[in-house]
Chain A
């Protein structure tokens, strides 16, 4: 019997998810022993044309990491969907947009202007911008189109399972692969479609070793401004911690070492919007009934949108509201 086929791909991502797969260390040999790796640009030398030549559904399992922000990402998402029996949104970018999707708060033009012309480290007096088609003496060069908005994998194609995390933790990745191997080897039933794999079904607070006393606070502090108490809840100490609005599964890595949760495991189970859940959680620790004082306390939270949706901007409910014109630079707000 031929081995089950495994593909891994990165779209708009940093590559951390790829490294995380290698973090399973010598277990990668077990993966290689069981699977036939047919596509994995970061590690194996197969090309897109090899995938295009495959039969539909020929790949048994595809772990797709990265968000979808260019026409090429979109093409690969659809191609791998067609060629794979199981398509897994692997990592926060594929699950809910992650860091790339933060650029959904601005426009494509503003992003390109900053990256290719205006940032202090760039010298581009002629404002040369990437073009989808460029004629050169040696022929036509094509580049994928850069999209106005960054999308998660499920926003462009059908996804079977989700493995959250930025990146997914190695023990969770191995847990998922081990389960898949067990299912394929022993012909066991698959979990229901849409299941979040390799994560918990509670919030990050559930895994946090710190003691929560549900204190009320008179001001928020940023993590570099204080030396947090090693045993007390960070939120109790006035440090913005995304724990209450974030899915468990990481093992409380950040909070255990005194760094507030940033929310990389995505929205908590039964919640679709991480940001609005965080508004509810954070507002409950404010110790004031006076509107002016509340405003003063809230001034301590720098960039609520970027903080609360750092990993889930592509799925932000309010992101659906269209404000300003898409072509305008800057934030394109109403007011």
Chain B
């Protein structure tokens, strides 16, 4: 006869009171997301405050997505696409590049530090590059501190 024993109660997890930034990273499906995937496969660790949202192309990035991320509590936003000339859809990343420069001016116009918005190019083979980007951004946002949002 088997007896079931209740699993011992776990020790309550220690909840860190340290503030952790929330960084949203929009990664293109073909280069940057694969690059981040490679970083994972290669067991490269990167800062867990960076949360990835996969988009088909960095050119799909409507500037509204970035504004919405900030308004919903993101402390920083990364947009990452294929290197110039490598876009799966020929020129999506060039569209992103143009939008990014204007969007950054808009974000700064609302008094938000422009450093909180970053555009990078990461290819599918650049796992280490992605990890470095994420760590660098997380360190920068930690230094800048949290961004408050009104209800």
To the question of whether A and B form a pair in one complex, the answer is: yes
A156 within 8 A of B: no
A197 within 8 A of B: no
Interface residue stretch chosen among B39-47, B131-139, B143-151: B143-151
How far does the Cβ of A313 sit from chain B's closest Cβ, in whole Å?
10
A276 and B103 contacting across the interface, CB-CB below 8 Å: yes
- Considering the chains assembled together, what is the distance between the CA atoms of A98 and B144 in angstroms? 32
How far does the Cβ of A216 sit from chain B's closest Cβ, in whole Å?
10
Partner of B102, one of A282, A289, A320, A334: A282
Residues in A neighbouring B62, C-beta threshold 8 A: 276, 280
Task: Name which residue of chain A comes closest to B145, CB basis.
Answer: A334
- Considering the chains assembled together, what is the distance between the CA atoms of A235 and B101 in angstroms? 18
- Considering the chains assembled together, what is the distance between the CA atoms of A183 and B66 in angstroms? 42
Partner of A318, one of B70, B84, B113: B70
Kindly state the interface size class of chain B when it binds its partner. 20 to 34
Q: Binary interface profile of B, 72-85, with partner A (CB < 8 Å = 1, else 0)?
A: 00000000000010
Task: Name which residue of chain B comes closest to A324, CB basis.
Answer: B111
- Considering the chains assembled together, what is the distance between the CA atoms of A294 and B102 in angstroms? 9
Interface residue stretch chosen among B9-17, B28-36, B91-99: B91-99
282-318 of chain A: CB within 8 A of chain B: 282-284, 286, 288-289, 291, 294-295, 298, 301, 303-305, 308, 316-318
Q: Is the interface of B mostly helix, strand, loop or mixed?
A: helix
A294 and B97 contacting across the interface, CB-CB below 8 Å: yes
A195 within 8 A of B: no
Task: Name which residue of chain A comes closest to B106, CB basis.
Answer: A304
Listed residue (A105, A305, A318) with the most chain B CB atoms within 10 angstroms of its CB: A318
- Considering the chains assembled together, what is the distance between the CA atoms of A32 and B115 in angstroms? 58
Residues in A neighbouring B95, C-beta threshold 8 A: 283-284
How far does the Cβ of B14 sit from chain A's closest Cβ, in whole Å?
30
Residues in A neighbouring B108, C-beta threshold 8 A: 333, 335
- Considering the chains assembled together, what is the distance between the CA atoms of A316 and B95 in angstroms? 23
- Considering the chains assembled together, what is the distance between the CA atoms of A324 and B84 in angstroms? 37
B111 and A289 contacting across the interface, CB-CB below 8 Å: no
A334 and B99 contacting across the interface, CB-CB below 8 Å: no
Q: Binary interface profile of B, 97-122, with partner A (CB < 8 Å = 1, else 0)?
A: 11101110111111111100000000
B101 and A320 contacting across the interface, CB-CB below 8 Å: no
A275 and B106 contacting across the interface, CB-CB below 8 Å: yes
Q: Binary interface profile of A, 262-290, with partner B (CB < 8 Å = 1, else 0)?
A: 00000000011101110110111010110
Residues in B neighbouring A317, C-beta threshold 8 A: 64, 67-68, 70-71
Residues in A neighbouring B48, C-beta threshold 8 A: none
B150 and A320 contacting across the interface, CB-CB below 8 Å: yes
A4 within 8 A of B: no
The verdict on A279 contacting B106 (CB below 8 Å), with A284-B95, A324-B111 known, is yes
- Considering the chains assembled together, what is the distance between the CA atoms of A289 and B59 in angstroms? 14
B113 and A283 contacting across the interface, CB-CB below 8 Å: no
A321 within 8 A of B: yes
B98 and A284 contacting across the interface, CB-CB below 8 Å: yes
A298 and B105 contacting across the interface, CB-CB below 8 Å: yes
A16 within 8 A of B: no
A230 within 8 A of B: no
B148 and A318 contacting across the interface, CB-CB below 8 Å: no
B112 and A304 contacting across the interface, CB-CB below 8 Å: no
B106 and A286 contacting across the interface, CB-CB below 8 Å: no
B149 and A323 contacting across the interface, CB-CB below 8 Å: no
A323 and B101 contacting across the interface, CB-CB below 8 Å: no
The verdict on A322 contacting B113 (CB below 8 Å), with A283-B99, A304-B102, A305-B106 known, is no
Residues in B neighbouring A279, C-beta threshold 8 A: 63, 99, 102-103, 106
- Considering the chains assembled together, what is the distance between the CA atoms of A242 and B98 in angstroms? 18
Listed residue (A282, A305, A317, A332) with the most chain B CB atoms within 10 angstroms of its CB: A317
- Considering the chains assembled together, what is the distance between the CA atoms of A27 and B150 in angstroms? 45
What are 15 contact pairs spanning A and B, CB under 8 A?
A276-B103, A279-B102, A279-B106, A280-B64, A283-B103, A289-B84, A294-B98, A294-B101, A304-B109, A317-B67, A318-B107, A320-B149, A321-B147, A323-B111, A334-B112
Q: Which residues of A contact B (CB under 8 A)?
A: 105, 271-273, 275-277, 279-280, 282-284, 286, 288-289, 291, 294-295, 298, 301, 303-305, 308, 316-324, 331-335
* List of 3 A-B pairs having minimum Cβ-Cβ separation, nearest first: A305-B109, A333-B111, A323-B111
Q: A283-B95, A301-B105 are in contact. List 7 more A-B contacts (CB 8 A).
A: A105-B110, A273-B67, A282-B102, A289-B84, A301-B102, A316-B110, A335-B113
